[in-house]
Amino acid sequence: MIAYNLGNLWRRLVLPSRIGNWSLTSLQQRLVKTGGRLVKHARYYWLLLAESHLTRRLFGAMVRRIELLPLPAG
């Protein structure tokens, strides 16, 4: 149920319009199940993603939309 709610939240709030109509199964298979690794180099972290539907532009667009969401009060 948590995965379903997270998928719905992504679809409503942060996914670019060109993939906003993907089903929750497609989102899971194409975005969530993307292989990758986090590498620390000097003072920076690099997220190295395996080749998939999640491109650098798409990931960047999602992160920018998440940053623009209002913070909850409290």
Does 30 fall in a domain? yes
Does 73 fall in a domain? no
Q: Where is pLDDT greater, at 5 or 30?
A: 5
Residue 60's pLDDT is: 82
Q: Which domain holds residue 25?
A: 2-68
> What burial class does residue 65 get, using C-beta atoms within 10 Å of its C-beta: 0-12 exposed, 13-18 middle, 19+ buried?
middle
Residue 71's pLDDT is: 81
**CA–CA separation, 4 and 26 (whole Å):** 12
Per residue in 24-71, pLDDT (tens digit) is 777 777 666 666 778 888 888 887 766 666 677 877 887 888 888 888
- Note if the pTM is more than 0.85: no
Question: How many domains does the structure of the chain reveal?
Answer: 1
Per residue in 63-73, pLDDT (tens digit) is 888 888 888 88
